[in-house]
């Protein structure tokens, strides 16, 4: 197009905008208003790409004032035909048409996208969100063909704006219009033109906790279930948006309970029965949203129960076996493994209740606060743990699952009234005396300083007691030897003579590791130790060189996930072999004790890279201090 044509187009656009501005100030000229709005709409939808682009460029300019004119018209004009033309113009400004065939390339497309984004933000800043919502509410009372077309355009604009407006939910809350969109979804759940923008708006509302609760109490669960049935299982954008709505709604336990009641689990499982029909990236997104929803439903007991009742575990297992080996599907396998593990029954560990380590518990009639009572820490921990389990059992439980919720509330209130003195009665009350702590002066200087302070305080107290005794016994003129000096002398003698017996006969030429092994060998343990722990022996020092990190192999990770799923579902068919049992080892070697000459040590560094030819099993050991491995079962 020549420069003269370009200037002609600009002149026409300027004239149309000026006439439109005049019509806004004179609303009584409805016919002229309709004519001007229709002309602008014809230019932004023209088949001539040059005319269309130049008209949009004029409307996109901030100094043109076009957006302000459009918003003012939608806010004040009552003519549905004019508003429909203005809404269609805004539609083209936000989502301009892309010409088919060869164009100048990606430069024009990227420029058009950036301009449309800027137009959306400009409209949001000018307050179009509130204007469109108010117009939508007024349209609910009209029943004409023009009002239906205008409703579709307004919903489309709100669907695009809701994704960009960060304060969309707060604006809906101020206008008290959250339930309006639920009512519209009830009316248009089978309307293909309005369903897509409505799902976009519902999705934005579901991401906010306040609006989520409002919609849940308004009964949106049954509406979404009906929408799911109407949408079907064809892989398109509506199904994906609907599943994303499920994903956000099921973050609430209240919504999870309602979705379980309306039968959502059965509908979700049918996705995995026919997932082969899906194709491309849409299949991945649909399956991912469905699995996240199932994960959220597994949080409540009713959700786990319904998944198992609808043959869900077998369906997911079948999906795992035929899942493509692409990297994108690794996250799906991980989610499925988590769902199956959550739904499976929790089995107790196959170990005896009584540990091979037997401790002598204190008698019941011994005073608990005395240092000599030696109250066993494990027995006291059990009492605290039992109370902790009481509170955890009362706090656990899914929302709306208990039939006697009022009774549970009363029980919780009664449990909350437990006396603190009774609750903390099981806390460790046995304390060491100050004289016992003086043994550790060689390790902690603070103990030595604290001991001096305590000695001074005790001396002062005894001085006061002695003075009181002297005052009360004035008739007696014979005085005993000064008790303060005696106590100080005794304390000094105790400090000099105190030493930990385990350090006796220690050779000064031993290294730190050798000394640690000697000390560890002298420690008396309930279960006989056979080695010392490598981290305790080495401390913060390693081999002196950086150890290489293992490379992550996707195939190994996938095989482990599939093995985990197989073991969970068909655990009874697998042969389980016990390769390490601390109880059996401790009972058979209970009488063996390490002699003074044979000190404990650690040979793990010497065994690096070596493999025992006599067995294919891994070797385990936990008979060392800080060892916590009790049993190993190879499946």
User: What would the pLDDT profile of 531-546 be if each residue is shown by its tens digit?
Assistant: 999 888 887 766 677 7
Q: Which of 60-64, 481-485, 498-502 has the highest mean pLDDT?
A: 60-64
Q: Which of 241-250, 389-398, 497-506, 513-522 has the highest mean pLDDT?
A: 241-250
Quote the pLDDT of residue 479.
35
Write down the pLDDT at residue 505.
78
3-state secondary structure string across 123-178: HHHCCHHHHHHHHHHHHCCCCCHHHHHHHHHHHHHHHHHHHHCCCHHHHHHHHCCH
- Lowest average pLDDT, out of 100-104, 200-204, 451-455, goes to 100-104
pLDDT at 620: 86
- pLDDT value for 5: 67
Residue 67 pLDDT exceeds 50: yes
Write out pLDDT tens, residues 288-317: 999 999 999 999 999 999 999 988 899 998
User: Tell me, what's the pLDDT at 325?
Assistant: 84
Is residue 43 left, alpha or beta, with left meaning phi > 0 and alpha meaning psi from -120 to 50?
alpha
pLDDT computed for residue 396 by the predictor: 44
Residues in Cβ contact with 608 at an 8 Å cutoff, skipping those fewer than 6 apart:
none
Instruction: Extract the tokens encoding 511.
Output: 């290294």
- Contact between 251 and 297 (Cβ < 8 Å): no
* Higher per-residue pLDDT: 568 or 70: 70
Q: What percent of the chain has pLDDT over 70?
A: 73
Separation between Cα atoms, residue 312 and residue 165, nearest integer Å: 39
Query: In 335-476, where do the E strands start and end?
Result: none
Helices vs strands, H then E, count in the chain: 30, 2
Between 451 and 141, the more confident residue is: 141
Secondary structure of residue 353 in the 3-state scheme: coil
What pLDDT is attached to residue 114? 86
Q: What is the pLDDT of residues 430-475, one digit of tens each?
A: 566 777 767 777 666 666 665 555 555 554 454 445 444 444 444 3
Query: Average pLDDT of 313-327?
Result: 87
Residues 11-56: tens digit of each pLDDT: 888 888 888 888 888 777 788 899 999 999 999 998 888 888 888 8
Nearest CA among 240, 254, 234, 370 for reference residue 292: 240
Q: What is the rounded average pLDDT of the residues 77-83?
A: 90
pLDDT of amino acid 534: 86
**For strand 577-581 and strand 631-634, is the pairing parallel, antiparallel, or unpaired?**
antiparallel
Gap between the Cα atoms of 485 and 488, Å rounded: 5
- Where are any strands of DSSP class E within 502-612? 577-581
Q: Once rounded to an integer, what is the mean pLDDT over residues 98-121? A: 72
Q: Is residue 631 predicted with pLDDT exceeding 70?
A: yes
Winning range, highest mean pLDDT, from 70-74, 356-360, 486-490: 70-74
pLDDT top residue among 499 and 56: 56
The 10s digit of each residue's pLDDT in 337-377 is 999 999 988 877 777 777 777 666 656 554 444 444 444 44
Write down the pLDDT at residue 185.
95
Task: Report the mean per-residue pLDDT for the chain.
Answer: 78
Write down the pLDDT at residue 24. 84
What pTM was computed for the model?
0.68
- Report the half-sphere exposure of 105 (CA within 13 A, side-chain side): 1
Q: Residue 251 has which token pair?
A: 């973050």
């Amino acid at each position: 197009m020549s420069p003269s044509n370009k200037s002609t187009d600009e002149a026409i656009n300027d004239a149309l905008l000026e006439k439109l501005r005049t019509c806004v100030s004179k609303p009584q000229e409805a016919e002229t208003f309709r004519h001007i709005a229709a002309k602008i709409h014809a230019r932004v939808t023209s088949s001539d790409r040059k005319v269309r682009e130049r008209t949009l460029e004029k409307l996109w300019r901030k100094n043109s004032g076009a957006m302000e004119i459009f918003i003012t018209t939608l806010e004040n004009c009552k003519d549905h035909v004019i508003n429909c033309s203005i809404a269609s113009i805004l539609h083209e400004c936000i989502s301009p048409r892309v010409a088919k065939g060869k164009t100048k390339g990606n430069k024009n497309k990227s420029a058009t996208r950036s301009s449309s984004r800027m137009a959306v933000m400009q409209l949001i800043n000018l307050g179009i969100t509130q204007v469109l919502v108010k117009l939508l509410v007024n349209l609910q009372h009209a029943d004409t063909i023009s009002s239906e077309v205008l409703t579709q355009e307004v919903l489309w604009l709100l669907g695009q704006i809701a994704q960009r407006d960060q304060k969309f939910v707060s604006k809906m809350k101020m206008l008290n219009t959250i339930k309006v969109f639920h009512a519209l979804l009830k009316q248009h759940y089978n309307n293909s033109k309005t369903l897509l923008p409505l799902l976009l708006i519902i999705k934005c509302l579901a991401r906010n906790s306040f609006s989520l609760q409002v919609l849940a109490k308004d009964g949106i669960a049954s509406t979404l279930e009906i929408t799911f049935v109407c949408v079907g299982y064809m892989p398109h954008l509506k199904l994906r948006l609907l599943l994303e709505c499920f994903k956000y709604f099921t973050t609430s336990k209240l919504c999870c309970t309602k979705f379980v009641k309306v039968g959502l689990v059965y509908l979700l499982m049918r996705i995995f029965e026919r997932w082969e029909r899906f194709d491309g990236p849409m299949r991945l997104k649909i399956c991912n949203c469905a699995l996240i929803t199932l994960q959220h439903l597994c949080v409540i007991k009713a959700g786990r129960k319904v998944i198992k009742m609808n043959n869900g575990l077998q369906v997911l297992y079948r999906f795992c076996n035929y899942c493509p080996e692409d990297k994108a599907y690794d996250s799906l396998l991980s989610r499925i493994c988590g769902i199956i593990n959550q739904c499976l029954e929790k089995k107790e560990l196959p170990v005896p209740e009584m540990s091979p380590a037997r401790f002598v518990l204190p008698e019941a009639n011994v005073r608990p606060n005395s240092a000599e009572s030696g109250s066993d820490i494990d027995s006291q921990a059990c009492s605290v743990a039992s109370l902790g389990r009481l509170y955890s059992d009362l706090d656990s439980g899914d929302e709306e699952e208990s039939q006697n919720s009022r009774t549970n509330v009363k029980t919780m209130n009664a449990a909350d009234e437990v006396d603190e003195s009774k609750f903390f009665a099981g806390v460790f009350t046995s304390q060491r005396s100050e004289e016992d702590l003086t043994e550790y002066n060689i390790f902690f200087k603070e103990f030595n300083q604290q001991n001096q302070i305590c000695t001074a305080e005790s001396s002062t107290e005894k001085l006061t007691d002695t003075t009181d005794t002297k005052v009360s016994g004035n008739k007696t003129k014979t005085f005993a030897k000064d008790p303060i000096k005696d106590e100080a002398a005794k304390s000094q003698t105790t400090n000099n003579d105190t030493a930990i017996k385990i350090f006796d006969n220690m050779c000064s030429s031993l290294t730190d590791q050798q000394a640690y092994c000697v000390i560890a060998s002298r420690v008396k343990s309930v279960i006989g130790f056979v080695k010392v722990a490598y981290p305790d022996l080495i401390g913060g020092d390693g081999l002196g060189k950086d150890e290489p990190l293992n490379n992550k192999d996707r195939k190994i990770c996938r095989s482990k996930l599939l093995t985990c799923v197989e073991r969970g579902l068909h655990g009874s068919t697998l042969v389980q072999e016990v390769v390490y049992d601390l109880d059996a080892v401790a009972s058979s070697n209970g009488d063996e004790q390490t002699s003074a000459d044979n000190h404990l040590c650690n040979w793990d560094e010497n065994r690096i890279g070596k493999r025992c030819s006599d067995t294919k099993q891994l070797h385990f050991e936990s008979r060392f201090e800080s060892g916590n491995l009790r049993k190993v079962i190879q499946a």
